[in-house]
Amino acid sequence: MAGVNCKSIERLGHHRVVPAEPTPGGSLRLSWLDRYPTQMALIESLHVFRAVSGKGVGDGGDDGGVDVAVGPARSIERALARALVHYYPLAGRLGFADSGEVRVECGNAGVWFTEAEAGFSLEDVDYLEYPMMVSKDELLPPTPAGEDERELVLLVQVTTFACGGFVVGFRFSHAVADGPGAAQFMAAVGEFARGAESLAVEPVWGREAIPDPATAVIGSLPDPAGARRLEYLAVDISADYIDHFKNQYNAAHVGGARCSAFEVLIAKAWQSRTRAAGFEPDSTVHLCFAMNARPLLHASLPRGGAGFYGNCYYIMRVSAPAGKVSGSSVNDVVRIIKDGKRRMPSEFARWAAGETVAGDPYQITADYRTLLVSDWTRLGFAEVDYGWGPPAHVVPLTNLDYIATCILVRPWAHKPGARLITQCVTPDRVAAFHHGLLDMN
């Protein structure tokens, strides 16, 4: 819809949502990883839910425990208050001591909740497909006056559209939860919104189980000085494309290991980017990807990690000459990635034990030769259901356009394949990157 007027998105007000029942007070210690500088930010995302027949705004009736008469905003707000009884640290604030230590102060300060209405339909704005016809700032909850943004843990905005669909905008402190942890909390809100009396998985704090190596050095935030501005690109990948490369790899490894869709897509993205950027063949290029460390801390985490929602991941780095990444087959690039994944348990164990590893594994860099990859397909966001079904799609938002990133997300609901959201090459190289990514030869 050309010329959509963003001013027709009206915020109806915002207020603090506190736990529906009394919860413990005091302060809670964050882990070494929680306190890492790159975690001291609010991670932003938009979750787009299509209208469901019989569940429009103001419709009456009840379906599966969902009181649709109150609409999605009120239903989610009520469920949020109930979920915060179990996740009460999210209703607190981050406290910064003079010593530099950061803790969560559990004083029930509350989660800021904003309700908004749009005077147009989701179809009018192409369901927030890129390029978005609505500014993300209209759909994300604002920081209220008088609040220190550094201290906030969670803000939520629910925007209801004229069609009956809605968008949930989250701003979530990475210091308190990683991706799986944030999705676990959203799923808990969904359970209560759908009428559950209890949670399928009770959350646990358990931050003392996260390694705190004496030799670990906390790095600094990436320096944007001299960094290049990188262009956003979202690409839908078909299931046939994924199967083509998976079958190639599997045929070459009869009786051996199989490769995943993640490995195929990231190998293709890394190779296409390396070619498009035109790096010198003998220069070293790097691929960094976060891996869930919960299975490696199974014995240390409460309940084997079930319900743990704090940061628990390790960033693996694989490196190779640009000429090798560019000139090899996709199978060979997949093998480079697999070799890195196989090293992860032993490398993480050495780091956790305080042994020397090459550099700071958690350091994020603005070096153009480094591509940072995230896999959102397994986090759980695509399965969150507030009573209107799972989201049509999830839109992760990045605030640092000088960090080369590639995020793998689910495509539209019930659509096979995958979606790559990238911001990894300069504007003049986007066409070459896109062409290379789609090339199946």
**CA–centroid distance for 198 within its chain:** 26
Rounded to the nearest 10 degrees, what angle do helices 179-193 and 71-86 cross at?
A: 120
User: What would the pLDDT profile of 114-145 be if each residue is shown by its tens digit?
Assistant: 999 999 999 999 999 888 899 999 999 999 99
pLDDT beyond 50 at 58: no
**Average pLDDT estimate for 289-298:** 93
**Average pLDDT estimate for 77-105:** 94
Hey, what CATH class is 8-203 in? alpha beta
Distance CA 113, CA 43 (A): 16
Which amino acid is located at 422 in the chain? T
Who has greater pLDDT, 2 or 312? 312
Strand 66-67 relative to strand 62-63: parallel, antiparallel, unpaired? Answer: antiparallel
Q: Give Cβ neighbours of residue 35 (< 8 Å, ≥ 6 apart).
A: 101, 102, 175, 218
Q: Give Cβ neighbours of residue 371 (< 8 Å, ≥ 6 apart).
A: 269, 270, 273, 285, 286, 287, 288, 404, 405, 406, 424
Q: How many helices (H) and strands (E) does the chain have?
A: 8, 17
Q: What is the DSSP letter of 377?
A: T
Distance CA 260, CA 247 (A): 10
207-211, 337-341, 414-418, range with the lowest pLDDT: 414-418
Catalytic residue numbers read 174, 385
| % residues pLDDT > 90 (the chain) | 75
The closest alpha carbon to 78, from 252, 194, 233, belongs to 194
Alpha helices in 15-118 (DSSP H): 71-86
Look up residue 145 and give its two tokens.
């006056």
pLDDT beyond 90 at 205: yes
- Main-chain dihedrals φ then ψ at residue 163, nearest 5 degrees: -80, -10
pLDDT beyond 50 at 237: yes
Q: Which CATH architecture has domain 231-438?
A: 2-Layer Sandwich (3.30)
Query: What is the CB neighbour count within 10 angstroms for residue 59?
Result: 14
User: Could you give the residue range(s) of every CATH 3.30.559.10 domain in the chain?
Assistant: 8-203, 231-438
Contact 72, 158 (CB under 8 A): yes
Q: Give Cβ neighbours of residue 114 (< 8 Å, ≥ 6 apart).
A: 11, 13, 14, 141, 142, 155, 156, 157, 158
